[in-house]
Amino acid sequence: MAEIQLKNISKRWGSFVGVQNFDLTIADKEFLVLLGPSGCGKTTTMRMIAGLEDVTEGEITIDGRTVNDLNPKDRDVAMVFQSYALYPNLDVYENIRFPLKVRKIDPSTHDERVKRAAEMVELTDFMHRRPAELSGGQRQRVALARAIVREPNVFLMDEPLSNLDAKLRVSTRHQIKNLSHELQVTTIYVTHDQIEAMTLADRVVVMSNGVVQQVGTPTDIYDRPANTFVASFIGSPAMNLLEGEISGGTFTGQNVSISGLSSKLESNVTLGFRAEDATLDPNGTSSAPLYSLELLGDATIATLKLGGTIASVRAGKEYRAEIGDHTAVHIPPEVCHLFDATTGERLD
């Protein structure tokens, strides 16, 4: 069992706060993703778990054991870095085997463990090549196999796909998902890519400026974002956000009027809706000029200028129009999300 508890951990460098009061229990065998923009504190959090950064305040426990003062090598965690961190003078076999030699694991078990790890990431045919002879995707798989061969209690993955091209990112993401299912090891994965987070995670932690904004399943976070930051960060395209006011159950703002909303609210609000929840309807209640069109193959994203705000609506792949055309938009009240205009916190 490898349950991890982060008990109000903080990291500061002088007056700069990198992570503030991070409090979370990560279940045994859970795949947890730390998600956020650069500088939000996600990698710092992972490095504190690994022991590569000291904790300023708080406590980290793994398997019920406090690890704050343990060296990284004594925490039984394996880390996969963005930069692969392979030994250029060693072939694939020896790169994978290296952690076993360092930890003085019984040499008679090395060959079987190395071959099993290599097979899991489809590297069996490349065992005698050196890193310079491998593609970026193959090097990342070597790094994954080197972590797997350790058989650790915890996997830590720091943006492992960010150096790969789009096609390799997709295939390696599938591989990581499958490995997670096969190995059943507690995994913490850092990324700024919300698609990786949504497709890989059991739970996602969204961070901004060192503070946790929301913790939940990918579905929870997509369907009910806790605030405007999460709403604008999750989704492709991101949720549309319109400033306005609500009175008598009707929202008005940005040349948009939507009735049938909560009659309990009477204030300035930010209204959000997803691109796929609105429609381009000749009978829609709002009309706006078309700003751009993006054909995705299976759909067309129409970007409109609603007042001073750019908003996206997902249309069918057959949709055709010209930039500048006025297009009617229908936004059903039941798909709308309401946030406090001042704090950004969710209201409904």
What would the pLDDT profile of 99-116 be if each residue is shown by its tens digit? Answer: 999 888 899 999 999 999
Contact (CB, 8 A) for 22 and 45: yes
Beta partners for residue 337, in sequence order:
272
3-state secondary structure of 326: strand
The residue type at 184? Q
Structure tokens at 278: 């609105």
> Whose CA is closest to 271, among 190, 217, 344, 185?
344
In terms of DSSP bridges, do strands 203-208 and 31-35 run parallel, antiparallel, or are they unpaired? Answer: parallel
Could you tell me which CATH number the domain at 239-340 has?
2.40.50.140
CA distance linking residue 327 with residue 303, whole number of Å: 10
Assess contact for 239 and 231: CB atoms under 8 A.
Answer: yes
Question: In the sheet that 77-80 helps form, which strands lie side by side, from edge to edge?
Answer: 77-80, 154-158, 186-191, 31-35, 203-208, 211-216
Instruction: Say if residues 154 and 188 touch (Cβ distance below 8 Å).
Output: yes
pLDDT tens sequence across 168-206: 888 888 888 988 898 999 999 999 999 999 999 999 999
Q: Which structure tokens are listed for 202?
A: 């059991």
pLDDT of residue 160: 87
Q: Is the dihedral of CA 223, 229, 235, 241 positive or negative?
A: positive
Name the CATH superfamily for 4-231: P-loop containing nucleotide triphosphate hydrolases (3.40.50.300)
Q: Quick check: do 4-231 and 239-340 share a fold?
A: no
Q: In the numeric block, which tokens belong to residue 15?
A: 């007056």
Calpha distance 149→342 (Å, rounded): 50
Tell me which residue of 119, 171, 173, 168 sits closest to 148, measured CA to CA: 119
pLDDT at res. 285: 64
Which pLDDT does position 264 carry in this prediction? 83
What amino acid occupies position 235?
Answer: G
Which residue type does 139 have?
Answer: R
The encoded tokens of residue 227 equal: 């605030």
Pairing of strands 186-191, 154-158: parallel
How far apart are the C-alpha atoms of 335 and 300, rounded to whole Å?
20
Going by the DSSP 8-state scheme, the letter that residue 227 receives in this structure is B
Instruction: Please identify every stretch of the chain with a pLDDT value under 50, giving residue numbers as ranges.
Output: none
The residue ranges of every structural domain in the chain are 4-231, 239-340
Three-state DSSP at 143 gives helix
